[in-house]
């Protein structure tokens, strides 16, 4: 396996750990309010629309709009930046958010306090889409669990080695995500709302891996080009 593929996998696992850390921080610091997905929020919005919208409904609706803005912004940026540049931008955005949320007051509404995480995780989701030929989320884990379980089950039933490879890959993704949650738990228990700050360390390692992956890609591209020249 090439250095580029190895670094791509390491980078995605690093971002998955970071996604678990940010999700764990949001849950631990904001009364079990998950900041990386919108299913629960949209269910609450639907129920609120039927029963009668209030101030919480408005806060949730604004949160949904912010999440949508994070998703949509990746489309616009993808037409302006190269994929590696967009990934670096996402990493810097995560670092800024982790730093910023540590200063938010304790009495701030839990939904409003999660707004920055909404935007950053939505942007990260669309910027880091997987590795090793698999599409996997770095900010939540339900589909990753499905792929892991069905991959191993298929292998035990049919001995399909590709299914085994899928199970192992998604197993690593799940471990990385929940290791991030464990680290967030220790951090929040020790530092409270400022427990977001140690997570900045994972953005530094991600940025270094992104830079190394970009260099490895350029080296392999140059090597391939040189081989083509030598053939002619």
Entry pTM = 0.90
Structural contact between residues 131 and 166, judged by C-beta atoms closer than 8 angstroms: no
The pLDDT value given to residue 232: 62
Instruction: Give the model's confidence band at 53: pLDDT under 50 very low, under 70 low, under 90 confident, else very high.
Output: confident
CA angle 126/68/96 to nearest 5° reads 65
What total number of domains does the chain contain? 1
Measure CA 158 to chain center: 32
Domain range spanning residue 184?
3-231
| 139 DSSP 8-state letter | S
Residue 222 has pLDDT above 70, yes or no: no
Residue 1 has pLDDT above 80, yes or no: no
Q: Round the average pLDDT of the chain to a whole number and report it.
A: 92
Structural contact between residues 34 and 40, judged by C-beta atoms closer than 8 angstroms: yes
**CATH code assigned at 104:** 1.20.1250
Q: What is each CA distance from 35 to 9, 10, 13, 204, 216, in whole angstroms?
A: 24, 24, 19, 22, 34
Quick one: average pLDDT of 187-204? 96
The pLDDT value given to residue 214: 81
The pLDDT value given to residue 162: 97
More confident residue, 16 or 52: 16
> What are residue 130's DSSP bridge partners?
135
Quick one: average pLDDT of 105-116? 91
The pLDDT value given to residue 221: 65
The pLDDT value given to residue 171: 98
């Amino acid at each position: 396996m090439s250095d580029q593929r190895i670094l791509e996998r390491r980078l995605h696992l690093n971002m998955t750990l970071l996604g678990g850390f940010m999700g764990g921080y949001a849950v631990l610091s904001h009364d079990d309010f998950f900041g990386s997905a919108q299913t629960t929020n949209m269910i609450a919005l639907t129920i609120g629309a039927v029963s009668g919208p209030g101030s919480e409904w408005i806060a949730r609706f604004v949160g949904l709009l912010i999440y949508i803005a994070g998703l949509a912004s990746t489309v616009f940026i993808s037409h302006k930046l190269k994929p590696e540049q967009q990934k670096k931008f996402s990493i810097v955005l995560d670092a800024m958010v982790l730093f910023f949320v540590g200063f938010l007051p304790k009495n701030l509404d839990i939904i409003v306090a999660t707004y920055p995480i909404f935007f950053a995780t939505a942007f990260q989701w669309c910027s880091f889409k997987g590795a090793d030929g698999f599409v996997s989320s770095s900010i939540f884990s339900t589909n990753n669990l499905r792929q892991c379980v069905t991959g191993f089950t298929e292998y035990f039933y049919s001995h399909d080695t590709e299914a085994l490879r899928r199970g192992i890959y998604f197993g690593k993704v799940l471990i990385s995500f929940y290791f991030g949650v464990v680290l967030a738990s220790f951090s929040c228990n020790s530092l409270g709302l400022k427990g977001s700050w140690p997570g900045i360390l994972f953005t530094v390692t991600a940025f270094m891996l992104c830079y190394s992956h970009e260099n490895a890609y350029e080296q392999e591209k140059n090597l391939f080009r040189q081989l083509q020249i030598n053939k002619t």
